[in-house]
Amino acid sequence: MNAQTWSGAHWRVISIDTPSLGNRSYVVITRDGAVAIDPPRDIDRVEALLSEHGVDLDLVVETHRHADYISGGLVLSQEHGVRYLVPAGDPEPAFRYLAAVPGEFVGGAGLQLRPIHTPGHTPHHMSYALSAEGKDVAVFTGGSMLYGAVGRTDLVSPDLTVPLAHDQWHSVRGLGVDLDPSVQVMPTHGFGSFCSATPTTGEAQTSTIGQEREVNPALTQDEETFVATMLAGYDTFPSYYARTPGANAAGPQAIDLHDTPTLTLEQVKTALDEDDTWVIDVRDKDEFIAAHLKGSVSFPLGTGLGVYFPWVAPEDARIVLLAASEADVVEARRDLARVGYDDVAGAYVGSVGELEQIGDIVSFTPRTFPDLAARLEEQADTDVVDLRRIGEWEEEHLAVATHVPLETLDVAASSVPDGAWVHCASGMRSVMGASILESRGIGVELIQDDYGAVADTALQRVVRD
């Protein structure tokens, strides 16, 4: 994802991209000020844009109570003393805000925003049409209309999944019919986020209402086909999504990304022996494979730490970081704060070689699917564990494999036999899973291979009809 810019005669919209979460925030800039839409938790990125363009913030806007990240909107609005435009509804915000009312224009930075009630992703969801020079020029669609897709409807509750799917069809269809084809579509989700109901349109970085009329399923399918197709495509989503909307409604507090206590080697050694502490190596997975402190777990910066860690670990996990630089510690704190882990017990900054003073430095030997095929020919009872999500497993899996999704390993590690071969789809999740298992005293063989390579082996597969 690269930051995008859209411009008119007297306005400019700049995206703030968070690739690890697959999300975008937006800042509208005019000569009269700026408006921030769905701002990230790490608001220093918004502040940098305001400073770069020499403008004052005039309004902060939310499309909904997000499930995949903690918003920085409340803190941003408080620090600048500006209005905070938020949809009312469950979970009801516990702070003062300006309620978004459908059809009631709200001025900001010399422009006009028109709230449009677009239930579907959540019941309270609002989109906002941006008017400039007397016409609509853009629409901020949050988790409603995405690029060639829509936001999923199963995040609120099982009872609402189907009704919200029908609402989503009507909402997205309404945007597509009522707005001019030239209007730029600016969603928050849909760039890899698990909030998307289906994959978005390729590598699309921009779109218009006219383009969406051609490709968006809500605009190309009838209601029943749309709902049935969307519901059939749902897979699991990160467990932390259940608590994040409530945290956003409660009012997230300011964070300091630079206050991480520095730990000594002895303190790291003590942490390794504590059952409730996760000693996390945030380096790249290939570096971890080559050499790491035994007992530490691999959750690399970005998606690994920012999505999969909160999916696997308990909400109250005590966290110790192992990093190669102070800058990496700050980035780790950024990843964690975005998903609600504000407190970190401390960090050790240094080389893997230094950690040898307190424990064993070990490595994994990367295996491939051809290696697995050869192993099974020699030893047919070799255990194979598939760490992918249930939807991936149901689509296709190895006949010899046992399914233990990565996100269940915190409680299911004991079900994995010592010596098992573990795999995922590309090799990223298998490293995380292997590290968790190793930290629990379970030795495994790590497959670092694309699942597509299975087709070139004699490995038997179970494929969904």
Which tops the pLDDT comparison, 341 or 200? 341
Neighbours of 395 (CB within 10 A): 13
Which burial class, exposed, middle or buried, applies to 444 when counting CB atoms under 10 A from its CB (0-12, 13-18, 19+)? Answer: buried
Give the pLDDT of residue 3: 81
Q: Which fold has domain 5-250?
A: Metallo-beta-lactamase; Chain A (3.60.15)
Looking at the predicted structure, is the pLDDT value of residue 94 above 90? yes
Q: Mean pLDDT throughout 333-347?
A: 97
Domain with CATH 3.40.250.10 in the chain: 265-362, 369-463
Cis peptide before 91 (omega within 30 of 0): yes
Q: Could you count the other beta carbons within 10 Å of the beta carbon of residue 377?
A: 10
CATH number attached to the domain at 265-362: 3.40.250.10
User: What is the rounded distance in angstroms from the CA atom of residue 1 to the CA atom of residue 61?
Assistant: 22
25-71 pLDDT, tens digit per residue, is 999 999 999 999 999 999 999 999 999 999 999 999 999 999 999 99
Strand partners, 40: none
Averaged pLDDT, 76-81: 98
Confidence bin at 196 (pLDDT 50/70/90) = confident
Task: Tell me the C-alpha distance between 73 and 40, whole Å.
Answer: 7
Query: Has residue 449 got a pLDDT over 60?
Result: yes
| pLDDT value, residue 202 | 55
Could you give the CA distance from residue 180 to residue 177 in angstroms, rounded to a whole number?
8
Question: What integer pLDDT is reported at residue 465 of this predicted model?
Answer: 81
* pLDDT given for residue 190 in this prediction: 87
Over 60: is that where the pLDDT of 1 sits?
no
Interval 289-309: pLDDT, tens: 999 999 999 999 999 999 999
Are residues 347 and 322 in contact, defined by beta-carbon separation less than 8 angstroms? yes
Residues of the chain with CATH 3.60.15.10: 5-250
What is the model's pLDDT at position 191? 86
**Residue 216 and residue 185 in contact, taking contact as beta carbons nearer than 8 Å:** no
Q: Please tell me the distance from the alpha carbon of residue 218 to that of residue 312, in angstroms, as a whole number.
A: 33
Q: Judging by beta carbons within 10 Å of its beta carbon (0-12, 13-18, 19+), is residue 340 exposed, middle or buried? A: middle
The yes/no answer on whether domain 369-463 falls in CATH 3.40.250.10 is yes
pLDDT at 203 over 90: no
- Say what percent of the chain tops pLDDT 90: 93
What 3-state class would DSSP assign to 95? coil
pLDDT in tens, 392-411: 999 999 999 999 999 999 99
What number is the average pLDDT over the span 262-270? Answer: 98
For residue range 101-111, what is the model confidence (pLDDT) as tens digits?
999 999 999 99
Q: What is the rounded distance in angstroms from the CA atom of residue 115 to the CA atom of residue 130?
A: 9
Task: Record the tokens describing residue 395, joined without a space.
Answer: 């689509």
Going by C-beta distance under 8 Å and a sequence separation of 6 or more, which residues neighbour residue 28? 11, 12, 13, 34, 35, 36, 37, 108, 109, 111, 130
